Amino acid sequence: MTPSHQPLVAFTGLEKRAAAGLAAIFSTRMLGLFMVLPVFALYAHDLDGATPLLVGLAIGAYGLTQALFQIPLGLLSDRIGRKPVIYGGLVLFAIGSVVAALADGIEMVILGRVLQGSGAIAAATIALTADLTRDAVRTRAMAAIGISVALSFAAALVVGPPLARWLGISGIFWLTAFLAIVGMLVLAYVVPDPARSSVHREAQPVLDQFAGVLGNPTLLRLDLGIFLLHLTMVSLFVVLPLSIESAGLAPVDHWLLYLPVVLLAIVAMVPFIIMAERGGKVKGVLLGAVTAMCASMVGFYLFHQSIWVVGFLLLVMFTVFNLMEAILPSLVSKAARAGARGTAMGVFSSSQFVGAFLGGLLGGLAHQSFGADAVYLVGAATSLVWIGLAATMAMPANLTAHVLSLGEQPAEEGLGLEARLLAIPGVEDAVVALDEGVAYLKVDSGRLDWATLQTFSARA
């Protein structure tokens, strides 16, 4: 019997509240960050001092501070508690939103976006999720948060254009400030307080694991992949709304293009995920997706005057984006050592936000220096770099992460227990965390002697 055949453990009522509440906090914050993407380039000319470079910087500025503060605030939450850090992050996000809403000039909008990003609560939110859930349901709780972020991105593209028409850009920023306050209320009245907070190596960064993570060439290529993906996507939105408008669709009606494209892209990615995960063709799917992204950016450069072509290319781009957002974290989980997934995902996520920042900056610079069309060539160039990285990357072994509950064990048992676990057929990597009362394993589900493995848990 392998871990995949274990009966599905149901969420408790407290775990449901925790997962739903934290997903709501995460998604509303990301909705606030993303809503300006499809509209800011269209309305920024009303701001004093607006130039293409500064518009691009305003779009991506949140990514820099998000990347800088995400891991440190997660580590701080180990010391002072999860909720105080999340409250502080939401307050910073609200302040940044108000600064941007009150701005008359582009510089103040940039400052507001920088403040929004500094309220980087991702790591602390994931850590709180781990505190409030059992090992058996934790992965599903994390997945719920991930799905909520993806839905937020899709929703932002659809609701952003009409909201910008009705409320203006300042109104969108006021709305994001309101969403931050809603997040605080959800944290106070929906999300339970944890009985205790502890380090969960599979869910959050651990300082002594950074050297190993940063020295792993496969993880570094995956980090560069998510960096290039978000660089390309954010740079695209520096000029894409302008291209859609010039192709004949009024800004208030841009949602009519985004809505069907977003929905179709979700459906279109499913067969490729099945092909990658069940068909064992991860590298082929990865290379094909990045090649399609490169071709799409060239297509935008050549044919952005046609709304029908733009719609088709957007469908390809969003399919690739959704596909990569599903495949790349899965590959990170497989490539990370047992017990190091939290650290690996922390570096991966920070790489994503650095990419968003540079996407806005490089997109704005290309627009200002060489014209709007040149931004699409920036995306094509970054895609070519990614093709080279993906083509030469060794795919990680198809191993499954498993957390084995041990209960209390004497300190001297650690190394001996690791050796005994590694002797079980199918256990490829093991890290015993006696402070957590668990062992983190990487297992080959097809070979695992599940009955023997369970005896270690039973003894506890």
Residue 233 near residue 383, CB atoms below 8 Å:
no
CATH of domain 207-398: 1.20.1250.20
CATH of domain 401-459: 3.30.70.100
**Cβ neighbours of residue 34 closer than 8 Å, sequence gap 6 or more:** 152, 153, 156, 157, 160
Read off the pTM: 0.90
Distance of CA 41 to the CA centre of its chain: 23
Distance of CA 120 to the CA centre of its chain: 12
For domain 1-204, give its CATH number from 1.25.40.10, 1.20.1250.20, 1.20.1270.10, 3.40.50.300. Answer: 1.20.1250.20
Residue 367 near residue 264, CB atoms below 8 Å:
no
Domain segments of the chain as ranges? 1-204, 207-398, 401-459
One fold for 1-204 and 207-398: yes
In this predicted structure, what is the pLDDT of residue 415? 63
In this predicted structure, what is the pLDDT of residue 130? 85
Cα separations (Å) of 134 from 129, 139, 144, 193, 438? 10, 9, 15, 15, 12
In this predicted structure, what is the pLDDT of residue 222? 94
Q: Which two tokens stand for residue 454?
A: 């369970």
**Nearest alpha-carbon partner for 127 in 39, 198, 219:** 198
In this predicted structure, what is the pLDDT of residue 6? 54
**Nearest alpha-carbon partner for 439 in 312, 320, 339:** 339
The runs of H, that is alpha helices, within 35-132 are 40-43, 52-80, 82-102, 106-118, 122-131
Cα separations (Å) of 25 from 73, 87, 199, 200? 16, 11, 21, 21
Q: Could you tell me the maximum CA-CA distance found in the chain, to the nearest angstrom?
A: 71
pLDDT in tens, the chain (460 residues): 344 455 577 888 888 999 999 999 988 888 988 999 999 999 988 899 999 999 999 999 999 999 999 999 988 988 898 999 999 999 999 999 999 999 999 999 999 999 999 988 988 998 888 888 887 777 788 888 888 888 898 999 999 999 999 999 999 999 999 999 999 999 999 999 887 777 777 777 888 888 888 999 999 999 999 999 999 999 999 999 999 999 999 999 999 999 999 999 999 999 998 888 777 788 999 999 999 999 999 999 999 999 999 999 999 999 999 999 989 988 988 888 888 888 898 999 999 999 999 999 999 999 999 999 999 999 999 999 999 998 988 888 888 888 887 766 655 555 678 888 888 888 888 888 777 778 888 888 888 888 888 777 755 4
In this predicted structure, what is the pLDDT of residue 420? 85
In this predicted structure, what is the pLDDT of residue 409? 61
- Residue identified by tokens 């093709």 is 387
Please count the helices (runs of H) and the strands (runs of E) in the chain. Answer: 16, 3
